Amino acid sequence: MDDKVIKLFSEKNLVFIATLMKDGSPQLSPVWANYEDGYVLINTAEGRIKHKNVLRDPRVAVSVVSKDNPLDMTTIRGTVDELIPDYEYKHADKLTKQYMNRD
Amino acid sequence: MDDKVIKLFSEKNLVFIATLMKDGSPQLSPVWANYEDGYVLINTAEGRIKHKNVLRDPRVAVSVVSKDNPLDMTTIRGTVDELIPDYEYKHADKLTKQYMNRD
């Protein structure tokens, strides 16, 4: 991804993720996300609709718009590469820092 | 829709719409939208991906989050009821007023 897009995922911008329901219809959720080593990392709880959806079908779309300039945005279509457990809340804590400025 | 949700669609909040590509994968776009008589109205140009997608499959998801309070949000799954031409830009002008405070 280019630097401008990486920046969008490194700021306090809400990220929207679209997943697919069992019947193939789209589902949409606002989430916190960050960017690490070429991946957009999204944190969610196990058992949430979007988690169940990507277990069944990994195809997703992700959109992010700058809080400060709505013309500064990107939309990505892709697939979930990996589901990474975060039982120690390491990633969740990183996101809290990014979005809330606190540990 | 309840008043709180109607308010979200009546303010300057960006709205995200997820549609389905030909292969069934999700596609996502930030859009301007407003609320009129029980419907969320979204304006787009003919020929755009989301327009082509809803012509083929009207299933969509829509999400909106308040600019002022990210906890104030809603996500809707549904279908496009009608595609309304706006060749005189009447609806586009309404949205410009809503989002940009100008005619």
B15: its two tokens: 């709205």
pLDDT score of A10 more than 80: yes
CB contact under 8 A, A26 and B61: yes
Domain count, chain A: 1
ipTM of the complex: 0.91
Identify the DSSP state of B38: T
In a domain, A70, yes or no: yes
Q: Does A73 touch chain B (CB under 8 A)?
A: yes
Residues in a beta bridge with A33: A42
Domain that holds residue A37: 3-92
Q: Residue A14's domain is classified under what CATH number? A: 2.30.110.10
Within a 10 A sphere around the Cβ of B8, how many other Cβ atoms? 22
Q: Which of A23, A73, A57, A51 is nearest to B28 (CA)?
A: A73
In a domain, A102, yes or no: no
pLDDT tens per residue across span A17-68: 999 999 999 999 999 999 999 999 999 888 899 999 999 999 999 999 999 9
Q: Which residues of A touch B61 (CB under 8 A)?
A: 18, 25-28
B21: its two tokens: 């590509």
Nearest chain B CA: its distance from A81 CA (Å):
15
Nearest chain A CA: its distance from B26 CA (Å):
6
Structure confidence at residue A90 (pLDDT): 95
